[in-house]
Amino acid sequence: MSVGHTGVTTLEGPQGHEHEQDCGIREVLDRIGDKWSVLVVVELAAGVRRFRQLQRAVPGISQRMLTLTVRRLERDGLLTRSVYPTVPPQVEYELTKMGHSLHTQVRGLADWAAAHRDAVVESRRRFDRERAQSELQ
């Protein structure tokens, strides 16, 4: 894998595909299927953000993961990173047009989740209950 650069744990996201038989879905998931990307996109959809702002806006994220996440999104052309050589340094992140178009799709999923959350919860409850039943014998 040609270890040439300074070893940022790899910017390539999850990792290499191999088969490619599906549609482009695996491709998307390998991009934004990780723990934080989507949340960052959503936050940035609301407007320009600085590093700290992002970190505060996305509750559990660590500094390391925020860095990795925005770098990958930048690499994919989903956001831009603007460095202002002030003191202290200041960096602004902003969604690109493509980033916003992705956000639209993500909104779709979020809306779906909101609309079906109750049904999912109820389904799980039933499933678990019935499962508990059959375990008594």
Closer Cβ to a copy of itself, 21 or 137, answer by number: 21
> Contact with a copy of itself (CB under 8 A): which of 65, 76, 91, 100?
76
CB of 84 to DNA, least distance (A): 9
CB of 70 to DNA, least distance (A): 7
Helix axes 37-45, 97-136, angle to 10 degrees: 130
d(CA 80, CA 93): 6
* Three-state DSSP class for residue 80: strand
> Do the bridges between strand 90-95 and strand 49-50 make them parallel or antiparallel, or are there none, so unpaired?
antiparallel
Q: State whether the Cα torsion 11-110-48-100 is positive or negative.
A: positive
Query: Considering CB under 8 A, how many residues would be counted as binding a copy of itself?
Result: 51
Closer Cβ to a copy of itself, 52 or 124, answer by number: 124
d(CA 106, CA 111): 9
Binding residues (CB under 7 A) for DNA: these are 6-10, 13-15, 34-36, 50-53, 60-65, 67, 70-71, 81, 83, 88-91
Q: Which does 3 bind (CB under 5 to 8 A by kind): DNA, a copy of itself, none?
A: none
